[in-house]
Amino acid sequence: MEHIYNEKKKGAPLFILLHGTGGTETDLVPLAELLNPEYNILGIRGSVQENGMNRYFKRHGEGQYDWEDLEFRGNELYEFILEKSKEYDFQLEDAVLVGFSNGSNIAIQMMLQHPSTFKKAALFAPLYPAEVEEKQDFSDVEVFLSLGKGDPIVPESESTRVINLFKERDADVTTAWVKGHNLTQEVALKAKNWLN
């Protein structure tokens, strides 16, 4: 998988950056620098193509996930991150998942598949349109969710579903609302306060 690794300091916590549809591994670097300039950075490019745009998993249409592909890609991405943690010598429990839109959605998938691995996530404009029956234990997980009012892609009911997905699993949830399907400077600063 195409990626960048930017080490600021050996042993520092790490941001795992997961872009939105059509993005690349460098899209969220400015956000990472704002959140905490001392964290190391692993930015990963989605390996699925949709009309020439990078994504992390296939879909049949807006909000219509290919669930089989999502499960496969979630495991594939997790294995890739695991491999890089050995190569670059970082601890997965020190990693913070940072995702926007499609990147947030694959982050949720990985967290559900590997509930004891990731302890922190900042997810912007997430959508996970399914009832998850398994009750993973997220009691030691902290998550920041940035959600959109009047989001043309994610209805407010679906934003609520994501909040509940984490709350029902006892995660420590912080929420912030923006207008539309956006990642604003204002909400980035709220995420920075949450993180630090």
CATH number belonging to the domain at 3-195, selected among 3.40.50.1820, 3.40.710.10, 2.40.50.140, 3.40.190.10: 3.40.50.1820
How far is Cα 104 from Cα 97, in angstroms, rounded to an integer? 8
3 is catalytic: no
Q: Letter for the amino acid at 84?
A: K
**CB contact at 8 A, 195 and 122:** yes
Compute φ and ψ for 61, nearest 5 degrees: 170, 180
From residue 101, how far is each of 4, 90, 105, 127, 148 by CA, in Å? 20, 25, 6, 7, 11
Catalytic residue among 19, 27, 146, 151: 151
pLDDT score, position 38: 97
Residues 13-63 pLDDT 10s: 999 999 999 999 999 999 999 999 999 999 999 999 999 999 999 999 888
pLDDT class of 176 with cuts at 50, 70, 90 = very high
Catalytic pick among 27, 101, 104, 159: 101
For residue 62, what pLDDT is reported?
Answer: 87
- The domain ranges of the chain are 3-195
Tell me whether residue 151 is one of the annotated catalytic residues: yes
pLDDT tens-place string over residues 106-154: 999 999 999 999 999 999 999 999 999 999 999 999 999 999 999 999 9
Which region among 19-28, 59-68, 170-179 has the lowest average model confidence (pLDDT)? 59-68
pLDDT given at position 145: 98
pLDDT reported for residue 10:
92
